[in-house]
Chain A
Amino acid sequence: QVQLVQSGAEVKKPGASVKVSCKASGYTLTDNYMHWVRQAPGQGLEWMGWINPSSGGTNYAQKFQGRVTMTRDTSINTAYMELSRLRSDDTAVYFCARVPTLRYCFDMWGQGTMVTVSS
């Protein structure tokens, strides 16, 4: 079964970092770019950036540059998103999402990881 499975919910204090994992199964991670999108409670979708799992190259939304790092471990078919210097307004559900080859859309999404930032 082709799917993306993310790590579980996290609770962090302001100023801390969080690292969310996204394991691809049923296909090879390096075949497609992986993006990260977040959604604050009751809000819309916000694109954070992508990683090319084949090369490790990344492209981050300007808003997150300097705070976000996207990596991958191809040996276990898993992508990661780490967000540092967390603030309360980083409280959101974080999704990984795959882009199919030669398309400009997200055809598969992880189930989401709730990250709560609270003192």
Chain B
Amino acid sequence: EIVLTQSPDTLSLSPGERVTVSCRASQSVRSSYLAWYQQKPAQAPRLLIFGASSRATGIPDRFSGSGSGTDFTLTISRLEPEDFAVYFCQHYGSSRWTFGQGTKVEIK
């Protein structure tokens, strides 16, 4: 089973700063099977990125995804106040769906 490890666990940043969240897979995965989500307190996750780099409908272009093989990255070019949340990566493979442990982006 593929394990996804995100880093860091927590980021303390100010509005306007650039955010980079890493998601590392325990073995090489297909980029088309990698997605990113945002979750705010007491809300369901929201799809941001699918296929490693495609933005979901309605997602602002300050969000971008990249990577291949075992290393994937979610980037927020300039943090907006509404972007403070927890971010998860997710993978599908061998009929199983797995999530990273999450990265919290908090206000510094």
A residues with a Cβ closer than 8 A to B are 35, 44-47, 59, 61, 95, 97, 103-112
Stretch at the interface among B18-26, B70-78, B93-101: B93-101
Q: Is the CB of A104 within 8 A of B50?
A: yes
Task: For the complex, give the distance between the alpha carbons of A112 and B43 in Å.
Answer: 8
| Given A104-B35, A105-B50, A107-B56, A44 contacting B102 (CB threshold 8 A) | yes
Number of inter-chain CB pairs below 8 Å: 52
Q: In the complex, what distance in Å separates the CA atom of A35 from the CA atom of B96?
A: 11
A44 touches B88 (CB 8 A): yes
Closest to B48 in A: A105
Q: Which 4 A-B pairs have the closest CB atoms?
A: A105-B35, A109-B44, A104-B92, A47-B97
For chain B residues 49-108, which have a beta carbon within 8 Å of chain A?
Answer: 50-51, 56, 88, 90, 92, 95-102
Q: How far is the CA of A61 from the CA of B37 in the complex (A)?
A: 21
Known A-B contacts A47-B97, A47-B99; the reply to A112 vs B44 at CB < 8 A is: yes
Contact present for A106 and B90 (CB under 8 Å):
yes
With contact pairs A104-B32, A104-B33 given, residues A47 and B96 touching in the complex (Cβ less than 8 Å): yes
User: Are A105 and B47 in touch, CB under 8 angstroms?
Assistant: yes
